[in-house]
Copies of this chain bind each other. A is one copy, B any other.
């Protein structure tokens, strides 16, 4: 079991990573709650929701559960409003707790519900995917708009993150790939040796718990270091968007759910590396990353996409400022920088990259 404390401008919270934490969940809560509202999805609910309910429910604590359809599409305004209505019907008040049991989608959605219910109540993240090692730390909560991912949301840190790695055993391969893309990203923006260590993982066989815990700890630490220094994303927090400018545009253009978040980010990282090499006149481990992605069955071809449409998508993305696309680039592994790229230049880079990648 590994525990680290994250500092935010409003409060501190603990992130605990280990095996078998769900059965003793109540020990990881910051205080006693009379009303707990578990929000989970249709995949996670049959696996862990009742166990979690049992470990919480006492004479003094009532527990309610709402289940949303699995998948990014549930991060929409209607689902959000339905959960607020559920919260009211379960009589949640300002001193109640929301538990987000699931992957990043559930965390973002349940966190946004918590952030706006009665102007904000406590919530705890219980990630059940590798990808959620990223989203569960940092306090970003959001839903999607048809025009862009996470366009509606807030910064609202949880009161605790309780990460039981046993819940990762049943993850399907595409979820492993999606999650590990963010681990790779944390390697690329922080430290060459961590990056090289991540590339030793073989996602096509069953995962070694020890290696996962080590990678998750390291990944969380990279993210935590950055968000602690820059809670509002005005500066270095942008580094966490490495690979996301194109990644989000691809997700958004294909339609959420057609490719996993991490798989889209993987392609986005390859693009960001190629742009970095040209903008910064350096050589970066494009080939090593490409080979690892290929070995681990990441989708590395895309349907024919219009370059201008992709650029428009990038501009709609919240990371762009005043309609100029800002990208996170690398000077070397572990040294990220941000740079505004003109539309013309971006168009050229994109055309070359898509040609290099090859089209389906």
Contact = CB atoms under 8 A, between A and B. Distances in A.
Interface in A112-137: 115-120
Contacts of A119: 140, 142, 150, 153-155, 233, 318
B323 A117 contact: no
Most buried by B among A152, A153, A318, A322: A152
Interface string A279-297: 0000000000000000000
Counting contact residues on chain A (CB < 8 A from B), the size range is 35 or more
A9 interface: yes
Given A34-B322, A94-B321, A117-B152, 20 more contacts: A77-B81, A84-B152, A85-B145, A88-B148, A91-B315, A93-B320, A93-B321, A94-B318, A95-B321, A115-B154, A116-B152, A116-B154, A118-B151, A119-B140, A119-B142, A119-B150, A119-B154, A119-B155, A119-B233, A119-B318
Contact of A9 (B9, B91, B118, B148): B9
Main secondary structure of the interface of A (DSSP, over half): mixed
Contacts of A316: 88
Contacts of A77: 77, 81
A140 B147 CA distance: 27
Assembly stoichiometry (copies): 2
Given A84-B152, A151-B84, A93 B145 contact: no
Contacts of A93: 318, 320-323
Interface in A72-88: 77, 81, 84-85, 88
Contacts of A94: 318, 321
A93 to B, nearest CB: 6
Contacts of A81: 77
Given A115-B154, A322-B93, A323-B91, A85 B147 contact: yes
B120 A154 contact: yes
